[in-house]
Structure 1
């Protein structure tokens, strides 16, 4: 069956190591879009961190879409929220307890900004905010309202620290049963509400667009893409730079993100 939607991770997949889209990949995705194939960026970033790359691909408006916050939110590119899975004040307190398991920063991501109680911010947290054009609001605990909700949590540390690994090995089993948790980078652990994942969000969006799951092709490289690679119906393409868990579940392994891996796979299977 022909591919009618392409879901593409950003960092390490669409973007080169220089944090840009290669000209060949851009041309190929634009060609796919011109043929009526939905190109959907699927990222851990909020929409503000995705839109510049959508614009570069010529994508905008009510009938183009993005999967953001690792699948906790699906929005059209005009900003309308189609689906949102949130955590609440009880989860907020749970995250503070998990933070005590290691010396890490903790921030809470909403569609408006990042929130944190930490005064000394890791470089990784600052990078995350800068790359997504997000304000970081530093607050005291008593300033967080009881009706506070958020879409994603990030635990971060500075490069070279062993504290993220310590936290990962210390997270109790009940937390993995209660939340979707991914070790997305050496310096970052990301957490969402249970069931909030890129894989589920892409599947739900396909259903909204009246597409069959076997009409969906996905591209990814890291742990937060794994849920897309667990769907047996999707056409799954791992980047050459992907982790082994992604490659093991892929239907095809393409070239890496610095050598037009997306373009090569699309020319082979779609265009």
Structure 2
């Protein structure tokens, strides 16, 4: 199999449930990289939540890349932006309309920090900021300038709440037609500009690197990975802990993220 690029989701895929890269997975990805295979981390996180793991894998500089914000941004590990899809103040106001459909937190993600108008923050929102080494700025609506732009939106609630499910069931058709919306966790909905997805971003990056779709292997487990699994050209590997929609679209199902699923698949299929 002539794989030249391997794209790897982070949470639930590269990272164990303890939020670290296992030694076996690290060793195997470094072996692939040393053989000239481009390793790309593809995450819903901003670069600040990706860069330390990239450097742990030996990926650094202007010629190593990450797909972040669920595909809204492609960045080099040194921070250079290759592609960015943003939303604006009109979208900001529409997100506030959606928030009123249930009792959820809403935050706006940029390459610099997270912004929210909410004073009472869900544990999930605080976890998202902490895991990505991000500043969380709480502001009043009047403090948000009309030239405000952002790359991704997150709706969250605490795990004991049913409010994300309520929001998911009541999001109007116009929103699904205007934005890319995914249910990334039971208590989290993520929203991007239409067309901003991991799958599209990886095709963009592959084109920049003069690679064909059938030279790309992808690993994922959750709803925000579906766009990668819908690309007919990619070789698609689902983690053992993946949701059924991911497994149904996969070419191969490997072990879960706590049992070196990435390493096992690469050794069997590529190395």
TM class, shorter-chain normalised? Answer: over 0.9
Query: Is 2:48 the partner of 1:57?
Result: no
Map of 1:211 onto structure 2: 211
Report the alpha carbon displacement of residue 56 of structure 1 after superposing the two structures with TM. Answer: 0.7
Distance, in Å, in 2 between the alignment partners of 1:261 and 1:135 is 32
Distance, in Å, in 2 between the alignment partners of 1:270 and 1:132 is 31
Map of 1:240 onto structure 2: 240
Deviations 1:156-195 (A, max 9, x none): 0011100000000000011000000000001100000000
Deviations 1:83-123 (A, max 9, x none): 00000000000000000000000000000000000000110
Distance, in Å, in 2 between the alignment partners of 1:2 and 1:46 is 30
Query: Is 2:188 the partner of 1:201?
Result: no
Map of 1:139 onto structure 2: 139
Query: Is 2:19 the partner of 1:19?
Result: yes
Deviations 1:236-269 (A, max 9, x none): 0000000000000000000000000000000011
List, as ranges, runs of 4+ consecutive aligned residues in structure 1 with deviation greater than 4 Å.
none
Map of 1:35 onto structure 2: 35
SS at structure 2 position matched to 1:29: helix
Distance, in Å, in 2 between the alignment partners of 1:160 and 1:70 is 25
Map of 1:121 onto structure 2: 121
**Alignment RMSD (CA, Å):** 0.5
Distance, in Å, in 2 between the alignment partners of 1:246 and 1:221 is 6
SS at structure 2 position matched to 1:182: strand
Distance, in Å, in 2 between the alignment partners of 1:48 and 1:218 is 22
Distance, in Å, in 1 between the alignment partners of 2:250 and 2:197 is 18
Report the alpha carbon displacement of residue 9 of structure 1 after superposing the two structures with TM. Answer: 0.1
| Matched pairs, number | 271
Deviations 1:46-85 (A, max 9, x none): 0000001001101100000000000000000110000000
Map of 2:180 onto structure 1: 180
Structure 1: runs of 5 or more not aligned: none
